[in-house]
C-alpha cells in the first residue's frame, strides 16, 4: 500500500516561534494532501486541503495566516505553524490521495507538537 511519512514525529517549541511539519508521499505522487488536527481521545478535524501548485483550501475557522501550507511538489506538502502558542499544541496528521488508487486517503504517522 501507499506510504506517507511525516517529519518530525514530535517537536517541542517555545511560544512565539514557528514550526514546520513535512508530509511526504514515498511511493506515489499526490496531487492532493490533507492536513488534520487531533486532540486527545477525539476524532480528526480537517484543517485544510493542499493541492499541488495552487493555494490550499482552508476549513472554516482555521486561520490561513497562522497555518501556512505549501504543496510545491507532487510528493511534499508542508504545514508551518507560525507564532505558535500553547493552545496550538496538538497532534497534526497529514494524508495523501494517490490518484491512481481511487479516492482512498493514506495517513501519515502524525506529528506531536508541544508549545511551551
Partner 1 sequence: TQLLEQSPQFLSIQEGENLTVYCNSSSVFSSLQWYRQEPGEGPVLLVTVVTGGEVKKLKRLTFQFGDARKDSSLHITAAQPGDTGLYLCAGEGLEYGNKLVFGAGTILRVKS
| Chain positions contacting partner 1, by CB under 8 A | 4, 6, 32, 34, 41-46, 49, 91, 93, 95, 97, 103-110, 112
Compute the least distance from the CB of residue 16 to partner 1, in Å. Answer: 26
- The residue written with cell numbers 486541503 in the block is 49
Residue 43 or 54 with smaller CB distance to partner 1: 43
In angstroms, the CA 96 to CA 59 distance is 17
Compute the least distance from the CB of residue 115 to partner 1, in Å. Answer: 18
Phi, psi of 101 (to 5 degrees): -110, 15
| Cell numbers placing 44 | 480528526
Provide the H-helix boundaries in the chain: none
Residue 89 or 105 with smaller CB distance to partner 1: 105
Amino acid at each position: 500500500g501507499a506510504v506517507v511519512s511525516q517529519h518530525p514525529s514530535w517537536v517541542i517549541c517555545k511560544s512565539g516561534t514557528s514550526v514546520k511539519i513535512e508530509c511526504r508521499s514515498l511511493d506515489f505522487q499526490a496531487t492532493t494532501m490533507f492536513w488534520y488536527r487531533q486532540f486527545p481521545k477525539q476524532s480528526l478535524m480537517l484543517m485544510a486541503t493542499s493541492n499541488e501548485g495552487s493555494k490550499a483550501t482552508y476549513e472554516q475557522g482555521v486561520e490561513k495566516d497562522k497555518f501556512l501550507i505549501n504543496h510545491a511538489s507532487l510528493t511534499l506538502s508542508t504545514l508551518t505553524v507560525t507564532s505558535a502558542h500553547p493552545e496550538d499544541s496538538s497532534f497534526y496528521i497529514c494524508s495523501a490521495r494517490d490518484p491512481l488508487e481511487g479516492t482512498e486517503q493514506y495517513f501519515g504517522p502524525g506529528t506531536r507538537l508541544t508549545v511551551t
